[in-house]
Amino acid sequence: MKTRLRWTKNVLLFGGSAIWGLLLISCVMTNRTIVAPPSVAGATFVGSGECADCHENVTSSFHDATHAKMMVNGENGGEIGCEACHGPGSLHVRSGGGAGTIVNPGSSPETCYQCHTDKRGEFSLASSHPIGEGKMSCSDCHDPHNGDAVAGGVSSLQGVNDSCVKCHVQQGGPYVFEHEASREGCVVCHSPHGSMNAKMLKSRNANLCLQCHFQEQTATGLLIGGRDHAAFLNRGTCWSAGCHEAVHGSHISSSLRF
Ligand code: HEC
Ligand code: HEC
Ligand code: HEC
Ligand code: HEC
Ligand code: HEC
Ligand code: HEC
Ligand code: HEC
């Protein structure tokens, strides 16, 4: 289920200066949440326009990005964009990019969690990508500056797969016997952030597979894929040892057994 956040009127500016302490986000599905952008000691907000002078490569394509919506709403909307994630930039601009003057969320997910509060929980589940430990960052899979924040677009599952197989080369194949399920996307079976089930699976049992393979009780038995599976289903999961172990694809077994 996709939660849509929408910017209200939408940013509170405190005083005439460019200091804003709180962003007000109204969320269509839940109550209002107040989130604070990251802070930098002693710095004030200067607006995205200032960043273009030195980071043209980032600002030039930003207008199409998911988070650029943070730039366009409201009277002072143009003031927020970049600094919503990078924090107030006055010291950074004045020092011409001095070390330690700006927040880089690439090295910590905390900035993202400030607005996407539900994601902290997903990454704390028993089986999850090691974001908290600093081994990975949100931007390994989401480009904050260009286009749709979900790599390749949420609608383009091929784009999502490409981002997964960058690191998980083996599961991407190619295989002699492909499992067509992967063409639908790794996220048909895996939760990309985390899950209560081992291997970040969306389901711990046959339901994972029965999303697409139907079972039918007939006079000859419990048919799945045209074969009686009644006895097999007591052995464990569909991908247990001796069953469809090569669930991502196989070089030798058309029925993905090894
Ligand atoms: C006067 C030039 C200048 C301006 C204006 C400027 N920057 Fe920078 N910025 C730099 C330089 C130089 C660096 C360090 C070299 C690099 O990484 O490109 C840098 C680095 C960065 C980094 C990486 C920091 C890190 O620790 O990895 C971020 C993020 C950044 N700038 C964001 C911004 C934002 C947001 C703005 C607008 C509020 C902005 N910059 C305005 C010159 C500038
Ligand atoms: C949604 C949050 C977000 C917004 C909005 C955002 N950035 Fe970033 N920015 C990031 C993240 C995350 C990284 C680290 C990327 C990485 O490590 O691959 C980053 C990295 C950077 C860097 C370091 C160099 C680089 O490309 O790795 C610069 C410079 C930068 N951003 C400038 C900007 C400017 C200028 C804007 C506005 C036009 C902006 N950012 C808007 C999240 C954001
Ligand atoms: C200041 C608040 C804020 C921060 C910080 C922020 N986001 Fe967002 N993000 C939003 C809003 C608002 C939207 C919703 C835009 C929409 O629904 O059209 C959004 C949308 C997204 C989406 C797309 C969701 C979808 O349903 O298509 C992704 C992915 C995302 N953000 C990831 C990140 C990551 C990664 C970071 C940290 C680098 C980050 N965000 C930082 C406010 C924020
Ligand atoms: C391993 C890759 C990966 C990492 C790391 C990752 N995401 Fe995602 N994220 C995805 C994929 C893939 C989707 C699309 C899920 C779908 O289509 O079912 C997604 C969807 C989203 C969405 C929109 C749908 C939703 O679940 O609300 C948001 C917001 C989001 N991610 C935020 C984040 C934040 C914040 C971080 C870091 C704390 C992060 N993601 C780290 C892969 C990743
Ligand atoms: C930047 C590299 C990177 C990307 C991109 C990435 N992963 Fe991962 N993935 C990891 C790391 C690191 C681990 C944890 C270490 C390990 O156990 O191998 C992991 C663990 C996993 C696991 C659990 C493995 C286990 O043995 O418990 C699954 C499943 C998984 N990733 C699926 C995905 C999917 C699906 C995507 C795309 C949405 C994706 N990964 C994108 C690096 C990545
Ligand atoms: C049809 C469902 C399904 C699809 C689609 C799928 N996986 Fe898996 N994946 C599984 C199952 C089931 C396991 C657990 C296998 C086990 O425990 O032996 C698994 C395990 C993994 C693991 C842990 C290492 C391993 O092989 O046991 C990684 C990493 C992984 N998958 C990545 C991916 C990637 C990347 C994609 C997309 C290219 C993908 N998966 C598509 C079902 C799927
Ligand atoms: C997204 C849909 C989808 C999911 C989920 C899925 N499959 Fe498949 N699977 C297919 C399609 C499509 C084919 C190729 C057509 C066919 O044989 O039904 C296939 C083929 C197979 C085959 C080869 C059948 C043969 O003999 O040619 C096996 C075995 C298989 N899947 C097992 C599994 C297992 C085990 C799971 C759960 C871990 C699973 N599938 C989950 C879509 C899916």
Please compute Rg for the chain using Cα positions: 24
Q: In sequence order, which residues have a C-beta less than 8 Å from that of residue 57 and are 6 or more positions away?
A: none
What pLDDT, on the 0 to 100 scale, is given for residue 16? 28
Q: Quote the pLDDT of residue 158.
A: 63
Length of the chain: 258
Q: Whose CA is nearest to atom 33 of ligand 7?
A: 209
pLDDT averages per 10-residue partition of the chain, 258 residues: 33 30 34 62 88 93 81 49 90 94 89 91 95 85 85 60 88 92 90 96 96 92 90 90 94 93
The residue nearest atom 43 of ligand 5, judged by CA position, is 167
In angstroms, the CA 70 to CA 80 distance is: 7
CB of 238 within 6 A of ligand 1: the answer is no
Predicted local confidence at residue 7, as pLDDT? 35
Tell which residue, 31, 130, 141, 18, has the closest CA to residue 82: 18
Q: What is residue 146's predicted lDDT score, i.e. its pLDDT?
A: 86
pLDDT score at 23: 40
Alpha-carbon distance of 21 to 45, in angstroms, equals: 10
pLDDT of residue 19: 32
- Return all residues near 121 (Cβ < 8 A) that are at least 6 apart: none
Tell whether ligand 3 has an atom less than 6 A from the beta carbon of residue 1: no
Q: Ligand 6 center to residue 120 CA distance, Å? A: 23
